[in-house]
Amino acid sequence: MLRLRASVDAGRADGFADLLRSQPGVHRLVKQPDAGTPDERFVFVADVEPAAADLLVAELSRMGLGGDDYVLTRTDVVAPLHRHIVRIGDGTVEGAAWFEVMGQARANSRPLARYVTLIVVAAVIAALGVVTSNAILVVGAMAVSPDLLPICATCVGIVAGRRALAGRAFFTLALGLALVVLVSAGLSAALRATDILHPGFRVEDTVVAAFADTDYSTVLVALAAGVAAIVCFETRANAAVGVGISVTTIPASAFLGVALGTEGAEHADGALVVLATNVGLLIASGSVTLLIQRLLATRLRRRSAPAEGA
């Protein structure tokens, strides 16, 4: 659920109230005097369904309200259980606000220090999982990795036609995966040079050796993961689904790095192909999922226009 707070001058207060009452998905409207301003103004507070927010923001812009006049914040609904469905015309819309998705994409498209730190930590854990053939460590690395965020930001940039956003997010993703490869290669080489890693180690015998081979399951898993990535990105279930997304990126990246660091370069090509295939399919299926959602929402809004104008 979203919470709208707006400050409107007295001359537009009645029209603003009528606008909010006419909008689908806007509930529990409250109006009160704004005691913090010298001129006569009113503060409006209302609950807004996420799926109705884009239409509401567009109407606020048409009315002439700027970014200083209102704020939309997200609130956690404790009770009663609510499905956040908005009825528009003959159909229903359930989902997230597009402007909120865009905001998340912009925030997650840059290689911030937190992102780089988590990627490096994930790389260390994944590399240790590969060299010790410990599947639990590899899964732990997948849980730590934040690569879901730039993947989804790339999809948002593609669907929105924002080349700069898509390019910036893809660079962040590529940087993160490159760091996983480099850190894994450096760590495994250091372990080998100090004889901590036994001389008979062969990367092709580890638990993630399957991530160096591309088959039909590679394609299907990546396509399904791309759909899940966008859905969880919109609902902010990143932590819960991030492990499933990283299964297509982190193990292959760590395998590639360990192969390069332990003189197993002949097995690196397969891992590189798997990684590139997975990233491409993740972005493709995520973008298609997001595009279908936008087209369906636009279609419902257009169908509702005659009914709302009648």
Task: Return d(Cα 173, Cα 248) in angstroms, integer.
Answer: 13
Q: What share of the chain is helix, strand, coil (3-state, %, to 5)?
A: 65, 10, 25
Task: Please tell me the predicted confidence (pLDDT) of residue 73.
Answer: 84
* Owner of token pair 């036994």: 198
Average pLDDT over residues 97-120: 84
Which token pair is 216?
């039909």
Average pLDDT over residues 46-60: 83
Q: Give me the CATH topology for the region 2-95.
A: Alpha-Beta Plaits (3.30.70)
Task: Please tell me the predicted confidence (pLDDT) of residue 288.
Answer: 95
Mean pLDDT of the chain: 83
Which token pair is 291?
């595009």
User: In this predicted model, which residue has the larger pLDDT, 78 or 205?
Assistant: 205
Average pLDDT over residues 119-138: 92
3-state secondary structure of 248: coil
Average pLDDT over residues 220-248: 74
Q: Under a CB-based contact definition with an 8 Å cutoff, are residues 12 and 63 in contact?
A: yes
- Whether residue 309 has pLDDT greater than 50: no
Closest CA to 33 of 54, 9, 1: 9
Which token pair is 240?
């819960």
Q: How many residues does the chain have?
A: 310
- Whether residue 177 has pLDDT greater than 60: yes
Please give the DSSP secondary-structure letter assigned to residue 170: H
The tens digit of pLDDT for each residue in 84-94 reads: 555 555 445 45
Q: Which sequence spans correspond to the domains of the chain? A: 2-95, 101-296
- pTM beyond cutoff 0.85: no
Confidence bin at 82 (pLDDT 50/70/90): low
Average pLDDT over residues 49-61: 82
Give Cα 301 distance to the centre of its chain.
Answer: 25
